[in-house]
Amino acid sequence: MLSWDESFAGLDARTRERLQETLARVRRHTGSTIAFVARERKVGACHG
């Protein structure tokens, strides 16, 4: 399980997109659970 606090808040758009793609790939290949902690509900929902 990977726990991630304020996951992408401070990143520029390009870096954020690349990191989201990388995490999705890791999740697919490992079957890991990734828990995001965010102040805004919509931020967590878009990663789910």
What is the pTM assigned to this prediction? 0.60
Residue 20 structure tokens: 């989201």
Cβ neighbors of 1 (< 8 A, separation 6 or more) are 32, 33, 34, 35
Does residue 43 contact residue 12 with C-beta atoms inside 8 Å?
no
Structural domain containing residue 23: 2-47
Higher pLDDT, 19 or 43: 19
pLDDT at 13 over 60: yes
Structural domain tally of the chain? 1
Evaluated on CA atoms 19, 20, 24, 27, the torsion sign reads positive
Query: What pLDDT is stored for residue 40 in this prediction?
Result: 65
Query: What pLDDT is stored for residue 14 in this prediction?
Result: 92
